[in-house]
Amino acid sequence: MENSLTQQNAQQDALRELNGIAMRSMAAGDYLAAQATLNKALEISRKNPSIWLNLAAACRVLSDVPGALAAVEGALQADPRSFMALLMKGSLLEQSGQLRSAAKFYGFAIGLAPAEETLDAPSVKALRHARKINAEYIEELVAFVSEALGPFREPGNTGAALRLNAFMDHALRRKILFRQEPSDFFYPGLPAIEFYEREEFPWLAALEAQTQVIRSELMQILADDFRDFVPYVAYPDGLPLDQWAALNRSTRWGALHLYLAGKRVEKNTSRCPATMAAIATLPQPVMADRSPAAMFSALQPSTHIPPHNGVANTRLVLHLPLIVPENCGFRVGHQIREWREGEAWVFDDTIEHEAWNRSDQPRTILICDVWNPRISLGERDAIVEVIHAMDRFHDVKPNSDI
């Protein structure tokens, strides 16, 4: 232990010395020397965000924008919530002409910005510029989405019109949400119901009647012992994982996707035609590159899914329990329930929820998304168009709507 601490201290001393040499080189205007010194420091450790940020600054002065961006990415790998790294990434993206991406990263930096009085004058100037660019981006995005919405907009001050306008305000980050806590999309006027009453889903009993045939198809798949299940949580490096650190890229919570990001996963669906026929009867949202979503979800023994919130309250989540050992449970808000094989439920996953398997056997259920039944058909079309317009504006294809 003593040797380990001694080595760590020696490493930190070496990093401080090299960083100091680099700073003196930059002060003298010798940025090439600073760059070389900082690269030596990174050979000792790549986990110090200050080293990366100083390297990014040196690269930028040397007109090496790709090198500066790579260094900023290194800083964000070391500290995903670094205000200065996010601010610099936005500035570099703006310098390279990627204005929309720059505005988004400026938005991340603004959310983490300390009080201006704690910053030096250049940082204050950069932060105020970031706010200006981000505000212009939001204004342009609002105009684009409003035009795209066009024929879908409800006239007057009807309940639907008010809800749609409030939905846009939240989706476009123009208003703060104080109700349910979806990560992306909030549609106002929908009640915060933890578990919905069965009567709202007239198709539920017919789905439950297919439990045995669905379970039979699942058992055939499980003859390979979860071989084809993939980690449900799969974040890339450089993101703040928070409660997901223990499960990231782990098959302790695994999924066999049937629909992923709105597309059928043929290698899986071909093995369970009866399951797919049952899912086809459900009122699932259809959004290009987002939904529907459906999967067999497997929670391995002694595994806990931490409290979290879903993406959008425009859709609800259906569970059909298929293989449920004892000592498995599920909480939504203040309600705790146990799964019972063949008894489905529908809940609002934008309300904080968690799950656990305290048994010595895997728990496996069918999970699907369905439209919230309180949203009219016309509103559903408008919601889809708002989200599609945002995706077109950003020229991105989300990985999934999970």
pLDDT in tens, 87-123: 999 999 999 999 999 999 999 999 889 999 999 999 9
Q: Give the pair of three-digit tokens for residue 298.
A: 């497997």
Same domain, 119 and 237: no
> Number of folded domains in the chain?
2
Task: List, for residues 43-54, the tens digit of each pLDDT value.
Answer: 998 989 999 999
Of the listed ranges 20-29, 238-247, 293-302, the least confidently predicted one is: 238-247
What is the structure's pLDDT at 173? Answer: 75
What is the structure's pLDDT at 172? Answer: 80
Same domain, 208 and 335: yes
- DSSP 8-state class, residue 39: H
The range of the structural domain enclosing residue 89 comes to 2-139
Q: Rounded distance, CA 259 to CA 275, Å? A: 12
192 is a domain residue: no
C-alpha 174, offset from chain centre: 20
Q: What is the mean pLDDT of residues 165-193?
A: 81
Same domain, 300 and 222: yes
CATH number for the domain spanning 6: value is: 1.25.40.10
pTM: 0.70
187 is a domain residue: no
Task: List, for residues 148-167, the tens digit of each pLDDT value.
Answer: 888 777 666 676 777 787 78
CB 192 within 8 A of CB 179: yes
What is the structure's pLDDT at 400? Answer: 46
Same domain, 124 and 35: yes
Residue 401 has pLDDT above 90, yes or no: no
202 is a domain residue: yes
Domain boundary residue among 124, 139, 154?
139
What is the structure's pLDDT at 116? Answer: 92
402 is a domain residue: no
Mean pLDDT (the chain) is 90
Same domain, 134 and 209: no
Residue 386 has pLDDT above 50, yes or no: yes
Q: What is the mean pLDDT of residues 338-348?
A: 96
CATH number for the domain spanning 216: value is: 2.60.120.330
Nearest to 87 by CA among 45, 56, 66: 56
Task: List, for residues 35-45, the tens digit of each pLDDT value.
Answer: 999 999 999 98
Task: List, for residues 171-181, the tens digit of each pLDDT value.
Answer: 887 776 556 88
Residue 67 has pLDDT above 60, yes or no: yes
What is the structure's pLDDT at 149? Answer: 84
Same domain, 204 and 70: no
What is the structure's pLDDT at 402? Answer: 32
Task: List, for residues 344-368, the tens digit of each pLDDT value.
Answer: 999 999 999 999 999 999 999 999 9
Pairing of strands 253-260, 230-231: antiparallel
Pairing of strands 363-371, 294-299: antiparallel
Nearest to 290 by CA among 388, 366, 381: 388
